[in-house]
Amino acid sequence: MAGLTHEAAAAHVTATNPTFKVGTADIRGVTYKVFENIPASVPALLPASRAGQGDGAWDYLVYRDERWTYDAFCNDVNRMAHALMRDLGVTRGQPVAIAMRNCPELLILTMAIASTGAVVVFVNAWWTTQELDYALRDSGAKVVFADGDRIARLAPLKTAMDLRLIGVRDGIGMGDDSYGALYAGSTDTTWPEVPIAPENDFAVMYSSGTTGHPKGVVQTHRGAVNAVFTWLMQAVMAPLITPPEDGAPPAPRPSVLVVTPLFHVTATHPMFLLSLPAGAKIALLHKWDASEAVRVIRDEGITRFLGVPTQSADLMEAARRMGEPLPTLDFIGSGGAKRPAAQVAQLAEVFPRAQVATGWGMTETNANGIGMAGPDYIERPGSAGRLYPPVQELKFLDDRGREVAPGAVGEITVKSPCNMRCYLNKPDATAEVLHEGWLRTGDLGFIDEDGFVTIVDRKKNIIIRGGENIACLDVEGALHRHPAVAEACAFSVPHERLGEVVGASVQLRGGMTVTLDDLTAFLRDHIASFKIPAHIWFRDTPLPRGATDKIDRRALRAECLATLDA
């Protein structure tokens, strides 16, 4: 049987499947296309997904030697939600922060906080005390659930900011309260009766921008849930586009392995939140370990892997070394950074049963965006894919905000209910990127006659190191704190494994010197370790400038990289 085209499959699903019926909604004065029949909020996903999770009886969450059935997970969410309201006084709209490495409590707390109508503030677990200080002041969060390392970094801020620190796992005994004590004191497993409107705020996630401090991206419940059902619809479309062979066995229950940090949208949305209505099992890695990932995929029958390109390469090498073909894998996706074109064919060869996939999305779009998998990707390894239907719209704009001709390079601009509400406390920055519902992404690309989008450059000065976004000005601000540094400019340096690492050129003040080791040690107190430059070029002369007297970042980068080549 011949398959449908991408457009025909989308039209068929929206016309015949009530779950994906599309209507319109007025959101903050703008009309958007939206799914009409999906859950109204993130916590509403839990009861709505129970039937597809074996009526709650199937294993749902796996972490090391710990396991939760779906009902057990939901019961833990509800117990913690009631504890938050009764014991901590958490109320609707209140920001509550989570600062920890990947662990089950992070997932439980995400849903518990959302169930109270409060706002989940996801804190980057790699941040220093200085960076944590900024995010907590910006978000206004006073209650913070944290593991041991994060509580140690938060301790200097506790008194001045009047923080209430709740210890989780190895943080128990280090804070004011503990997750375990709150959980033990709460036995109510009923769903909290808290009204949550689709346009209420669900979460704040911090995303590096072109300013020195990260921006708090405010996501609504409608935005997150529409993104989830957009991805779910792609799975329904897939067999219509590529029909299974006659007599093919039914697809196994989906199961996902989370290997990227849950304070990033790549892990929370298309992995965790999508797992609920998809009827999927979810397994967590505490931190990235390729050999451990191979063992979990083998032992748990994992079907879906999504990580930054570096992790795909590590997984491929570990599977070869361990002699594990990982036959259950049917999807190997990439997010956070562009996968090297050569890696696409390599993955398809090593994991022939898996569809190699790529995707583009942003924290500002609840991770919704563009993607493709399988033969389309193998044929176009440099492309980002097609726009996911049906609630998104796409156009390409020039610097004056005018649409460019098809095939011409322009700024990728998207409109959908998944777009953020705003940048927290930054109305000017919000106005720069949001116009009548359209989000200017800062990425430059073009679309071909078949609807495939290729991303060619970034307007923003962002370095993507192994999927982690780093603002150049953030690095430069830390460098300028050193008394010997007169001027600094950060830029990306190509790296075979991580894609990019941080490089910087520094002009020293007259008569002053500093060693590479001393400057690196100094930076550790001011920025997270992944932001510290891997290469620093010292100079006594001013950094090169262009006609507008701004530092010529491109020329400086080319000059420095030439010395590496030499």
Query: For the domain that residue 344 is a member of, what is the CATH number?
Result: 3.40.50.12780
Predicted pLDDT at 338: 76
Q: Is 20 contained in some domain?
A: no
Report d(CA 211, CA 469) in Å as an integer. Answer: 13
CATH code: domain of residue 86: 3.40.50.980
Q: Is 40 contained in some domain?
A: no
Q: Is 43 contained in some domain?
A: no
The distance from CA 157 to its chain's CA centroid, rounded to whole angstroms, is: 27
Per-residue pLDDT of the chain (566 residues; tens, 9 = 90+): 679 999 999 999 999 999 999 999 999 999 999 999 999 999 999 999 999 999 999 999 999 999 999 999 999 999 999 999 999 999 999 999 999 999 999 999 999 999 999 999 999 999 999 999 999 999 999 999 999 999 999 999 999 999 999 999 999 999 999 999 999 999 999 999 999 999 999 999 998 654 568 899 999 999 999 999 999 999 999 999 999 888 888 889 999 999 999 999 999 999 999 999 999 999 999 999 999 999 999 999 999 999 988 899 999 999 999 999 999 999 999 877 778 777 899 999 999 999 999 999 999 999 999 999 999 999 999 899 999 999 999 999 998 999 999 999 999 999 999 999 999 999 999 999 999 999 999 998 999 999 999 998 777 788 989 888 888 888 998 999 999 998 999 999 999 889 999 999 999 988 999 999 999 999 999 999 999 999 999 999 999 987 556 788 889 999 999 998 77
Beta pairing partners, 489: 505
Q: Are residues 320 and 187 in the same domain?
A: no
Predicted pLDDT at 547: 59
Q: Is 151 contained in some domain?
A: yes
Report d(CA 287, CA 101) in Å as an integer. Answer: 7
- List Cβ neighbours of 400 (8 Å cut-off, separation of 6 or more): none
Beta pairing partners, 93: none
Q: Are residues 429 and 355 in the same domain?
A: yes
Predicted pLDDT at 323: 97
Predicted pLDDT at 309: 86
Query: Residue 426 corresponds to which amino acid?
Result: K
Q: Are residues 91 and 155 in the same domain?
A: yes
Predicted pLDDT at 459: 78
Q: Is 513 contained in some domain?
A: yes
Helix, strand or coil for residue 320? helix
Q: Are residues 251 and 104 in the same domain?
A: no
CATH code: domain of residue 551: 3.30.300.30
Domain count, the chain: 3
Report d(CA 79, CA 21) in Å as an integer. Answer: 34
Out of 458, 487, 507, pick the residue that ends a domain.
458
Q: Are residues 446 and 535 in the same domain?
A: no
Tokens 């503990």 label which residue? 178
Q: Are residues 436 and 470 in the same domain?
A: no
520: tokens are 């690196």
Q: Is 193 contained in some domain?
A: yes
The phi, psi pair for 492, rounded to 5°, reads -85, 145
Out of 430, 458, 486, pick the residue that ends a domain.
458
Tokens 């002699």 label which residue? 323
Q: Is 293 contained in some domain?
A: yes
Predicted pLDDT at 482: 95
Q: Are residues 195 and 66 in the same domain?
A: yes
Q: Are residues 153 and 260 in the same domain?
A: no
Helix, strand or coil for residue 453? strand
> Strand 499-508 to strand 22-27: parallel, antiparallel, or no bridges (unpaired)?
unpaired
Q: Are residues 453 and 533 in the same domain?
A: no
Q: Are residues 393 and 512 in the same domain?
A: no
> Strand 355-361 to strand 331-334: parallel, antiparallel, or no bridges (unpaired)?
parallel
Report the sign of the C-alpha dihedral through residues 110, 113, 117, 121, in that order.
Answer: negative
Q: Is 238 contained in some domain?
A: no
Tell me which residue of 246, 272, 248 sits closest to 259, measured CA to CA. 272
Q: Are residues 392 and 418 in the same domain?
A: yes
End-to-end CA distance of the chain: 57
Q: Are residues 449 and 479 in the same domain?
A: no
Out of 435, 458, 481, pick the residue that ends a domain.
458
Find the domain containing 80 and state its range: 55-218
